[in-house]
Amino acid sequence: MSAVIQEKLKSTDINPFIGSHVHLSKDDLLGGEHASDLRQLLEERGVLVFPEIHFSDEEQVLFTKTLGELAPERAGELLYKVTLDTKANAQADYLKGSMYWHLDGTMNEVPILASILSAKVLSPTGGNTEFCNTYAAWEQLPDEDKQMLEELRVEHSAWNSLFYYDPEPSLAKAREMMAIGERVLPLVWKHRSGRKSLVIGCTAHHVEGMGSRESAELLIRLREWATQPQFSYSHKWSVGDTVIWDNTGTMHRATPYDPASGRMMLRTKLQGEEPFA
Residue 4 has pLDDT above 90, yes or no: no
Q: What is the pLDDT of residue 94?
A: 79
* pLDDT over 70 (residue 213): yes
Check pLDDT > 90 for residue 21. yes
Query: Mind listing the pLDDT tens digit for each residue in 66-111?
Result: 999 999 987 788 999 999 988 888 787 878 889 999 999 999 999 9
Q: 123-150 pLDDT, tens per residue?
A: 999 999 999 999 999 999 999 999 999 9
Tell me what pLDDT residue 36 has. 96
Considering the chain, what percentage of its residues have pLDDT values greater than 90? 90
pLDDT at residue 175 greater than cutoff 80: yes
pTM: 0.95
Indicate if the pLDDT at residue 260 is higher than 70: yes
pLDDT, mean over the chain: 95
Can you give the pLDDT at residue 75?
Answer: 77
**pLDDT exceeds cutoff 70 at 174:** yes
Q: Tell me, what's the pLDDT at 87? A: 83
Residue 92 pLDDT: 77
Q: What is the 3-state secondary structure (H, E, C) of the chain?
A: CCHHHHHHHCEEECCCCCCEEECCCHHHHHHCCCHHHHHHHHHHHCEEEECCCCCCHHHHHHHHHHHCCEECCCCCCCCEEECCCCCCCCCHHHHHHHHCCECCCCCCCCCCCEEEEEEEECCCCCCCEEEEEHHHHHHCCCHHHHHHHCCCEEEEEHHHHHHHHCCCCCHHHHHHHHCCCEEEEECEEECCCCCEEECCCCCEEEECCCCHHHHHHHHHHHHHHHCCHHHEEEECCCCCCEEEEECCCEEEEECCCCHHHCCEEEEEEECCCCCCC
Report pLDDT for 120: 98
Q: Determine which of 34-48, 73-87, 241-255, 261-275 has the lowest per-residue pLDDT on average.
A: 73-87
- Give residue 1's pLDDT band: very low, low, confident or very high (50, 70, 90): low
Split at pLDDT 50, 70, 90, the class of 202 is very high
